Chains A and B, each alone.
Chain A
Amino acid sequence: MAEVVLNEVVKTYGDIYAVNHVSLTVADGEFVALVGPSGCGKTTTLSLIAGLNEISGGEIHIGGRLVNDLDPKDRDIAMVFQNYALYPNKTVFKNLAFPLQMRKLAKAEIERKVLSAAKVLDITHLLERKPRELSGGQQQRVALGRALVRDPRVFLMDEPLSNLDAKLRVQMRTELKRFHQDLEATVVYVTHDQLEAVTMADKMAVMHGGFLQQYDSPKNVFDNPVNMFVASFVGSPAMSLVPLEAVSHGSDVALRSPEGWELPLSPQNARKALGATSNQVVLGARHSTVKLHSAQTPGAVPGVVYTVEPTGDITFVQVFLGTSVVIVSLDPSVTVHPDQKVWIEFDQDKIHLFDGATELALAAV
């Protein structure tokens, strides 16, 4: 296994930057997820690491070796594709044997390695079948097997679960995580599903518009998003963001809405708000940190219920505060109905404040 280092990596198509000066280090044995919406550059980054795409600038090192100009086969990586890319005309055995044949291994050696990989992934009984005779989950396993059989230094995975149905996806997620733990493999994993990243990865790299936004453990990304994009991308449902205006009353600071209500800030939050480049401040709050009251409460701000979405164990309520929507999670036993007037109470220790102009998180000075 090996460490993967990206240093100021750039990929351009004409004038467009698909990957814009991305630097990150994947430690030996680490599971790193590249996440972001479509077109954010995550898949391009992966194919640059694989060597399927030519790098426009910067350096990529795998296991301490500069690989910029190496062919994929010389990088000692294995890749699992979104559509599995199994060779449809070959049996499972031959699919697994193909990378070994290309490396001109002896026949007996190939057979031994294929059988041992098949055993690990529990696909021994499928070896004589063709890919089209397999279920989605089985195809997925064969694709993993083809990567595993070569004993690569790094596994690259491009949305490997997105073609599976919801139930199988959850099951394969667990299996992949176990696979990583057992092999202590270095894995770079691309997904647009932030939940996959949060549940599986040691670290997640959130990308947007070709830029790396934040690279940290899922917990840190969730707890301390560096900007409004990361805040709204990670977490389900997303963090609610309410654009407000900071106003000072002597030494106290409050956030004022266009509708006229004011939310007084704690001293620590007040210092954050005063650090903004203008008086435009965006308040961010996760659904679980917000309380909903059906009667006026000191410190709570007024809103109107828009929709109520029961999910069984939690009910999500969308509340309009003026023109912004705040999502609140409630115990299903609490009843609220659409168009009901409610009061929202924010937890001063758990709210996030962002600079309205730069969209960056505000830190206490």
Chain B
Amino acid sequence: MVKSWSELLVGRIVTTIGVAIALFWSLAPIYWIVVTSLKTSREIYAIPPTLLPARATLQNFNTALFNSKFPQFVMNSATVAVSVTLISAVIGALAAYPIARMQFKGRGVTARAIVMAYLLPPSLLFIPLFVVLQNLGLINTKTGLVLAYLTFTVPFCTWMLIGYFRTIPIELDEAAKVDGATRLQTLLKVVLPIAKPGLAVVALFAFTHAWNEFLYALVFVHSNDTKTFTAGLTGLIMGDTFIWGQLMASSVIAIAPILVIYIIAQRYIVEGLAAGSVKG
């Protein structure tokens, strides 16, 4: 049935309103962070609050970047997040391939155990993990923090990659086998290049998780050379005093890398979701 002109118009309007609400809902906090970071302390506390800074200032950014420990915290976060990303992707791929492709006893149990591990809430694990890390002498080290994050990201990456590998026709592995490739060569030269979009998704997830994580960072590390920025931001809250301007400027700085990575990786991820691996 052909829709009438008025029906089309109503449809448009409803869609537009819906999109507008969704955008407002998700973007308003970010807008507020950015705007606040550009305000002077006096204006931040002004009543009524201003939607745009009356006199924009970069003072907060200046303090955050050059007169605080914040850049070091960001560097710590980057070290931890990049390590977590690389290690989870490598272990995830090596664990997912046999589960997706080989026949062995306990395969189903392993696959289910991986999902279970991923479903355990981190807030339940942080006390036992603390004990483990303490006994290993890894409390207040970046290595310890990386290990703690891996308990969450490795199961997730493995689980995601099992699913992705299963969408790749098994005939490709068989063809590689007939062509003379070993299992490892098959994984490295045939399967992984096809699974690039899947790898991009899991790497991005692992990075985002490690970058944004707060609880473990607060509990497991405390010195300036190990603390990540999420824990570092709490240093700007002293008792009931919030240094809002610097807090918001620091947040903007912390959002920037992940935003850039998402924009770059977006092409891959969309490709990964849209395209099958090979035509039948």
A residues near B (Cβ < 8 Å) are 47, 50, 52, 71-73, 77-79, 81-83, 85-90, 98-99, 102-103, 131-132, 146, 150, 163
Contact = CB atoms under 8 A, between A and B. Distances in A.
B178 A132 contact: no
B198 to A, nearest CB: 13
Contacts of A99: 178-180
Contact of A85 (B175, B180, B181, B196): B175
Contact of A81 (B174, B185, B190, B193): B174
A131 B179 contact: no
Nearest to B175: A85
B176 to A, nearest CB: 8
B175 A89 contact: no
A72 B278 contact: no
Contacts of A83: 169, 171, 278, 280
11 contacts: A52-B177, A72-B174, A72-B177, A73-B177, A73-B180, A73-B181, A77-B178, A79-B174, A85-B175, A90-B193, A131-B279
Q: Which of B169, B171, B185 has the most CB of A within 10 A?
A: B171
B277 interface: yes
Contacts of B179: 73, 98-99, 102, 146, 150
Contact of A79 (B169, B178, B185, B193): B178
B172 interface: yes
A88 B177 contact: no
Interface of B: 169, 171-172, 174-181, 185, 189-190, 193-194, 196, 277-280
Q: Which of B177, B185, B194, B196 has the most CB of A within 10 A?
A: B177
Given A131-B278, A132-B279, A163-B280, A87 B178 contact: no
Contacts of A102: 179-181, 185
B278 A81 contact: no
B171 A50 contact: no
A88 B190 CA distance: 9
A270 B169 CA distance: 56
A103 B180 contact: yes
Nearest to A52: B174
A81 B180 contact: no
Contacts of B278: 83, 85-86, 88, 131-132
A50 to B, nearest CB: 6
Top 5 A-B pairs, shortest CB-CB distance = A102-B180, A99-B179, A73-B180, A85-B171, A85-B175
Given A102-B179, A146-B179, A88 B277 contact: yes
A98 B172 CA distance: 12
Contact of B178 (A52, A82, A131, A163): A52
B124 to A, nearest CB: 41
B167 to A, nearest CB: 12
B185 to A, nearest CB: 7
Given A73-B180, A87-B193, A88-B278, 19 more contacts: A47-B174, A52-B177, A72-B177, A72-B178, A73-B177, A73-B179, A79-B174, A83-B171, A83-B278, A85-B171, A85-B172, A87-B176, A87-B190, A88-B194, A98-B179, A102-B185, A103-B180, A132-B278, A132-B279
A79 B175 CA distance: 7
Q: Which of A50, A90, A102 has the most CB of B within 10 A?
A: A102
Contacts of B279: 131-132
Contacts of A90: 193
A70 to B, nearest CB: 12
B172 A87 contact: yes
Contacts of B185: 102
A88 B193 CA distance: 9
Contacts of B190: 87
